[in-house]
Amino acid sequence: MRISELYNKNRKTLAFEIFPPKPDIPMDSLFSSIEGFKKLSPDYISVTYGAGGSQRGRTVEIASKLKNHYGIESMCHLTCVGHSVQEIDDLLAEIKKENIDNILALRGDPPIDQPDFKFDNGAFKYANELIEHIKKTGDFCIAAAAYLEGHSDSKRLSDDRRYLKQKVDAGVDLLITQLFFDIRLYFDFLDRCEQLNIKCPVIPGIMPIFSARIKTMTARSGCSIPARLVLMIDKYQDSPEDLKKAGEEYAAYMIRELLDGGAPGIHLYTMNKLESTVNILKLAGLR
């Protein structure tokens, strides 16, 4: 099923994001958690794609298992970093063969071990080029990333908005935001989308704070942390369990406020943590 159909029905959706285990870790370590995620009745689950395509085989395998074994609608992440047109086409054919209808199309991050990586090395340099190609290749529902505070590579916010419009015009059915922690940013972003005549659903992506490492993650992504959260992290940085609990409570607070404010759904970055996902949804009153 095309995920865009869910939003056409004007219902609040719940989606999870999971990531493939490292190559030296058996897949059973993840599949044992999927039964638990399924009990939470997500509308769909997206599966990430490692930096430089490092996990691409496992991404399709997991998305296929979700859809064809567990009966959960799935979304494959697909990046264009370093890939040839033929490699992209082979992946699209594999995704279609596995009965997967939904793709999150991304430029992607360079391989971790290649600090001087050149994005020109692949067939597609930007996400909008990948989206245009997918649109020509098959009848997929295409999602794209939205950066509420601008992509870290964009020199101006106005440039970032222009690139976003290019992606949407290339054939995007819905947008999923990268992590953010200030709810006002989301609703301000919706206003800007309206000014740009972007009409597709914008789904807020919620990243729970599980440890003080979130500071490093936000530094890389260009995402800001509100002062109240900085104080919270500093307060509990020597008590990991208390910090995780406070992070779950804040994620639940964001979910409630966003849905009450009119967000069409929630995309929860679970970090493969089933117990915390259960706690967050209970605190938010969703499950």
How many Cβ atoms sit within 10 Å of the Cβ of residue 285? 10
Active-site residue set: 17
Residue 152: its pLDDT value, please?
Answer: 77
| Residues pairing with 76 in the sheet | 47, 103
pLDDT (tens digit, 9 = 90+) per residue, 239-287?
999 999 999 999 999 999 999 999 999 999 999 999 999 999 999 999 7
**Which of 125, 37, 62 is CA-nearest to residue 88?**
125
> 218 pLDDT exceeds 90?
no
Give CATH for domain 4-284.
3.20.20.220
> 151 pLDDT exceeds 70?
yes
Q: What is the dihedral of CA 245, 250, 251, 255, to 10 degrees?
A: 140
pLDDT (tens digit, 9 = 90+) per residue, 122-135?
678 889 999 999 99
Q: Name the one residue in this structure whose structure tokens are 């997206």.
A: 46
Residue 63: HSE in the Cβ half-sphere, 13 Å Cα cutoff: 30
Q: Is the pTM of this model over 0.85?
A: yes
Asked if residue 49 lies in contact with residue 107, where contact means CB atoms within 8 angstroms, the answer is no
Axis-axis angle for helices 85-97, 56-68 (nearest 10):
20
Which string of DSSP letters, residue by residue, matches 89-145? HHHHHHHHHTT--EEEEE--PPPTT-TT--GGGSS-SSHHHHHHHHHHH---EEEEE
Asked if residue 143 lies in contact with residue 103, where contact means CB atoms within 8 angstroms, the answer is yes
pLDDT (tens digit, 9 = 90+) per residue, 101-147?
999 999 877 666 666 666 666 678 889 999 999 999 888 999 999 99
pLDDT band of 52, cuts 50, 70, 90: very low
**DSSP run (H or E) holding 80:** none
pLDDT band of 155, cuts 50, 70, 90: confident
Mean pLDDT for the stretch of residues 15-32: 89
CA angle 242/245/247 to nearest 5° reads 110
Give Cα 239 to chain centroid, integer Å: 28
How many Cβ atoms sit within 10 Å of the Cβ of residue 32? 11
CA distance 249 to 83: 40
Residue 39: its pLDDT value, please?
Answer: 97
**Which of 18, 21, 26 is CA-nearest to residue 47?**
18
Mean pLDDT estimate for the chain: 91
